Chains A and B, each alone.
Chain A
Amino acid sequence: MRKKYYHMYKLAAVLIALLSFQNPAAAQTDIDGLLMQKGFFCVGPTAGKSSWKNYWEGTFKRDNANLGTVSTTAYMLMGNYGITDKLNVLFGIPYIKTKASAGQLAGQKGLQDLSLFVKWVAKEKHIGKGHLKGIVIGGWSSPVSGYTPDLLPLSIGLHSKTAMFRLMADYERGNWFTTLSGTYNFRNNVELDRDSYYTTEMHYTSEVKMPDATYFNLRVGYRSSTWIIEAIADKWTTIGGYDISKNNMPFISNKMNATKLGIHIKYDTDFINGLSFVADGFTTVAGRNVGQASGFSGGIFYIFDLGKKQKKSDNKKTADK
């Protein structure tokens, strides 16, 4: 009889925060099929950098000598607590800094959006030699500082309160697994500092109606008690929105789409129980109204036993057949 996996939640999506004209794929999503065991709390910082030189103005791919290379640095604190073995809560909060290597526009920096998630294993089933989990995830994120979203591509975020609803299937067989998830992102109106703006028509209000977005994420890889190595493909699609017109500046309600490929590696140390390292890298292979960003990040996590009934080692070592 197989035991359940009790893995630490990992942070594949850290870097997504850094995407481009702003971070389609919601900054700090819990995007994997793993959960913390009851009573355990995993927490740690990550740091990452991404950049782009080319971007898509609508479907037209170009560079811009008045921006040069736009880079984003992000530091983030993330955590995951196991309420039960099947129900976890998670949080993430990033500090972001942007910079353009050319031109006159000033880079921006600040705390971006706090995100909270509830992750619940709704269904589990053994299929042959494999094990299938159905997971439901609800998320919410909200700006925690007064940063302006109206200075794209250098704004640190879109300043939209967002709610996320995600369905996920995680299938594993031996040390091999695949995880597929689909997310719907409800995005709230955003308030600008000005009282009129133009999209495809004139608007006399400071409020901007934000298009919702979907996000699909596919992961395939290897999991053991010590290593997780996986390849990732994901696609962010804005439902509605409009293209940046020729030689115009980007705007928050643009139709921002991005398809990315990436890898994620996690190593659980043997020398300190509960300590792990993560590394991520991604590149953008297709997009619309976003920068063609590539980036990498790394993080360190530690697991605390807040439940006191179980030992940390359970968490790691039960992750076996």
Chain B
Amino acid sequence: MKKIIITSFTAAVTLLLSCSKKIEEANLQYPLLNPVKADANAGTWKPVLLSAPNEFACAAPIATTSPDYIIQLNEIKSFQNDISAAERDQVNYWGAGAVLRWNEIMRELVARHNIPPYQNPDGTYPVPSANNPLAYPTFPFANPPYASRAYAYLSAAQYDACIAAYYYKQLYNRAAPFTVDANIQTLLPKSTLPSYPSEDAVVMGVSVELLKLLFPGDQDYINQKAEEHKRARLVAGANVRSDLDAGEALGKLVAAKFIARARGDRAGAAVGNATIWAQQEADCVARGELPWKSQESPARPGMLPLFGKVRTWLFDSLTMVTTVRPPAPPSTSSQKFKDELNEIYDFSKNLTREQLRIAHYWADGINTITPPGHWNYIAANDFVNLGFSEARWARNMALLNMSMMDAAVACWDAKYTYYNPRPSQMDPRIKTVTGLPNFPSYISGHSTFSGAASTVLGYIVPSKAQSYTDMAKEASISRMYGAIHYRSDCEMGLVTGNKIGTYAVNRGHTDGAE
């Protein structure tokens, strides 16, 4: 008996100790980038900000027969002489795609910084400062509008940088190192494109500069990633040093143009001030409506009250007001409003497990990549299997993210124009299963982002259009399950988002990439 017991205990413990908890993360399983179509003509595509693909100069490369080039080939050979397992992992990680990985790095930074500041002792709230990013509250508070803007600038800049790089590739037509020297191993699928300037490096160069602007306290991390990226390209035998240097330099030049736009796009003033906050509330009262109030304790000023004034990508500010802005929500004194409020109370009382799952799947609340980031992740998971070139990746992500930033602007415009209260403000019995966002209700941000994203993704991947539409509807209704939005918020959010997505699709029809 004793023996049996001891044996069983020992067996159980051994089993547990050997039990593997290893988790396979989706982003580490991506296949290597291997374009179905090289998109060698991407230098002719229509840029977002560049006046022409050669607006910024890229000097002619040295000849592949020159002694300096031979030295660069030997650098690759010295790296390849003894490739460690870690180096191979790096080659494969970056080999999945430069646009993909730098988008992923930005998502990581967004999630890290997506936490609202803790209050001051007097009950006010400090505002993060870009000039002192590491002091608490650290800069930025990467909330959904901030994140949408960050993704948009990164993607649009990557796209223009690719156009410039592909232009010079065709112009200079310098062969890749593995073509010049048969002794160079290639650890990645062989690109048919000329390798100068490197498309990986141009994406890296432009991304580093944009990330430094948007996440100035994380430069050490950003620079480390850039070094890893460059080394991975050399170890892989995909580029020589001068391919990378030229790409990086070109990327930085393109970045400067986007940074200049970012500094002037009014996002820096989106926090507003006490006078503006009071005015927005007073305007709502003057219309005879009940204004939104912060239900945080202590009361926190609404999130980015002037984000609706930020400069958009796909339409101008007049179009936004006349064409994109949704009509006013049901009056808080109307029967329709009361019915919609009761509907949310019922959800809060009788939520099913499946509805809770949906609320949490799409919650994308604090410390996450935000709803725009979630759609970036959805896009990335699909794009990795579609054999896009770097240029096409950049173009598709730019369309997606420009539409989502414009969705944020239009949504925030509606929120602070109408200043509509949340369900839990109107009925204190309503409790939520997800964090209550600290800004007015109408229209739903998740719905607007999702409406835009699903429209753009359905255009890029027509075979999945219905699936994206279904996802957007689920993301939208998840906010009703969470008991934080009315049906009108969600439905008008989707309509507005779809409308904005169509602007991006129309751009896609004329950008030369179809």
Contact = CB atoms under 8 A, between A and B. Distances in A.
Interface of A: 65-66, 84, 87, 102-107, 120, 122, 136, 138, 146, 148, 150-151, 163, 165, 186, 188-189, 192-198, 201-205, 207, 209-210, 245-249
Nearest to B349: A106
B23 A189 contact: yes
A163 B19 CA distance: 11
Contact of B431 (A106, A120, A150, A249): A106
Contacts of B116: 247
Contact of A189 (B21, B112, B377): B21
A197 B295 CA distance: 26
Contact of B368 (A148, A193, A197, A247): A197
A106 B348 contact: yes
Contacts of B12: 138, 163, 165
A209 B108 contact: no
B7 to A, nearest CB: 12
A201 B436 contact: no
B89 interface: no
B20 to A, nearest CB: 10
29 contacts: A65-B297, A66-B296, A103-B295, A104-B295, A105-B435, A122-B6, A138-B9, A148-B356, A148-B360, A163-B12, A163-B16, A165-B9, A194-B361, A194-B363, A195-B361, A198-B108, A201-B108, A202-B107, A202-B108, A202-B111, A203-B23, A204-B26, A204-B27, A205-B24, A246-B115, A247-B115, A247-B116, A249-B365, A249-B366
A202 B380 CA distance: 15
Nearest to B351: A106
Contacts of B369: 196, 198, 202
Contacts of A138: 8-9, 12
A193 B356 contact: yes
Contacts of A189: 21, 23
B297 A103 contact: yes
Nearest to A67: B297
Contact of A146 (B107, B108, B353): B353
A207 B116 CA distance: 26
Contacts of B374: 196
Contact of A107 (B108, B298, B366, B431): B431
A245 B117 CA distance: 11
Interface in B367-395: 367-369, 374, 377
A209 B13 contact: no
A210 B23 CA distance: 11
Contact of A209 (B9, B23, B115, B431): B23
Nearest to A187: B21
Interface string B277-295: 0000000000000000001
Contacts of A195: 26, 361, 377
A237 to B, nearest CB: 18
Contact of B367 (A107, A148, A198): A198
A205 B26 contact: yes
A150 B115 contact: no
A189 B23 CA distance: 9
Interface residues of B, number: 54
B195 interface: no
B23 A205 contact: yes
Given A138-B9, A198-B108, 11 more contacts: A66-B296, A122-B5, A192-B360, A196-B368, A196-B369, A198-B112, A202-B104, A202-B369, A205-B25, A247-B115, A249-B365
A7 B117 CA distance: 54
Contacts of A193: 356-357, 360-361
B98 to A, nearest CB: 18
A141 to B, nearest CB: 13
Closest 6 CB pairs of A and B: A106-B431, A65-B297, A193-B360, A247-B118, A198-B111, A202-B108
Contact of A151 (B26, B112, B433): B433
Nearest to A137: B9
Nearest to A199: B367
Given A150-B360, A193-B360, A247 B117 contact: yes
A243 to B, nearest CB: 13
A189 to B, nearest CB: 5
Contacts of B361: 193-195
Interface in B111-160: 111-112, 115-118, 136
A186 B433 contact: no
B432 interface: yes
Given A188-B21, A245-B115, A248-B115, A194 B433 contact: no
Contacts of B28: 204
A247 B115 CA distance: 7
A188 B360 CA distance: 21
Highest count of chain A CB atoms <10 Å: which of B26, B136, B348: B26
B488 interface: no
A65 to B, nearest CB: 4
B298 A248 contact: no
A104 B13 contact: no
A246 B114 CA distance: 11
Highest count of chain A CB atoms <10 Å: which of B23, B369, B424: B23
A24 B496 CA distance: 46
Interface string B253-289: 0000000000000000000000000000000000000
A105 B431 contact: yes
A163 B14 CA distance: 12
A146 B104 CA distance: 31
Contact of A66 (B17, B26, B112, B297): B297
Contact of A207 (B23, B377, B433, B436): B23
Contacts of A148: 356, 360
A194 to B, nearest CB: 5
A165 B13 CA distance: 7
A73 to B, nearest CB: 17
A189 B20 CA distance: 10
Highest count of chain A CB atoms <10 Å: which of B16, B295, B368, B369: B16
B208 to A, nearest CB: 19
Contacts of A165: 9, 12-13, 16
Nearest to A147: B353
Contacts of A197: 368
